[in-house]
């Protein structure tokens, strides 16, 4: 079984008061492309997905958009 391991996304995090949604979306876009290229059996996320307990709607949107796109992407097929 082939895993792709990530950790501590901290979606919704700001840096000195500046929102980081653009770079967080760029990370998730890169991750989708990398998953499509490497075709793992599973994505493992260890650590915090969101930066705070009650994430902003925008941070939640980043995650949900990623999940929808990852689910729609072609996946590895079982080999005989």
Question: Tens digits of per-residue pLDDT, 11-62?
Answer: 999 999 999 999 999 999 999 999 999 999 999 999 999 999 999 999 999 9
Residue 40 in contact with residue 76, Cβ under 8 Å?
A: yes
Rg (CA), the chain: 14
To the question of pTM greater than 0.85 for the whole model, the response is yes
In eight-state DSSP terms, residue 9 is -
If one compares 78 and 57, the residue with the highest pLDDT of the two is 57
Domain ranges of the chain: 3-72
For 20-28, which contacts have Cβ atoms below 8 Å and span 24 or more sequence positions? 21/58, 21/59, 21/62, 24/59, 24/62, 25/62, 28/62, 28/65, 28/66
């Amino acid at each position: 079984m082939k895993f792709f391991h990530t950790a501590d996304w901290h979606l919704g995090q700001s840096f000195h008061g500046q929102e980081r949604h653009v770079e967080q979306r760029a990370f998730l876009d890169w991750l989708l492309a990398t998953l499509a290229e490497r075709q793992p059996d599973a994505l493992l996320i260890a650590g915090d997905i969101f930066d705070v307990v009650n994430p902003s709607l925008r941070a939640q949107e980043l995650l949900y958009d990623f999940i929808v796109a990852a689910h729609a992407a072609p996946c590895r097929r079982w080999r005989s």
